[in-house]
Amino acid sequence: MEALTNESFKTKVFDYENNKTWSFKGEKPAIIDFYADWCGPCKRLSPVLEELSQTYSEKIDVYKINVDTEAELASAFGVMSVPTILFIPKDSEPQMAQGALPKEVLEQAISEVLLGEAPQMMAGGGCCGGGCHSASESMGAGNESEMTAGGGCGSSSSASMMSSDDDEGGCCGGGCHS
């Protein structure tokens, strides 16, 4: 898993300052984890993403962006709570997910969203059961879809910050507000 700065993001993923239309620069589909060092759910998600980056190393790239040190980049994508994950297929629009997604949901997103494999039915559905909900939302980089699964904390400008020792977060270990 490689940490990205604003400059490396513009070189490896998308130059949002000079392009208004989404144009992915990567050679493989990618996952980008917007995280914060103080966020408990982010700390739990990190080893899962590291494992997935090794498992799928030939098929996808996995990056991480610290929202505290790369605030401009987080702002450009409308990231208001962490963890927020950006799924970037090779030839289509990116999709966002908020919250500490279960490994099974991440694997399903890799399979379906990034690799274009046929959808697989997940047991349970809904929050914590692997269901993803899509909604069209316009952000700084263009028109992306937002997937919410695994329960993120809702995002708003008046969001409260959760302490780093809060291991539960919201529903399913959700996310922290920044």
Known catalytic residues are: 39, 42
Q: Which tokens is 94 given?
A: 């990116």
Rg for the chain, CA atoms, rounded: 15
Q: What is the helix (H) or strand (E) element at residue 139, kind and residue range? A: strand 133-139
Give the C-alpha separation, 30 to 44, whole Å: 20
Please report how many Cα atoms fall inside a 13 Å half-sphere around the Cα of residue 83, on the Cβ side.
Answer: 32
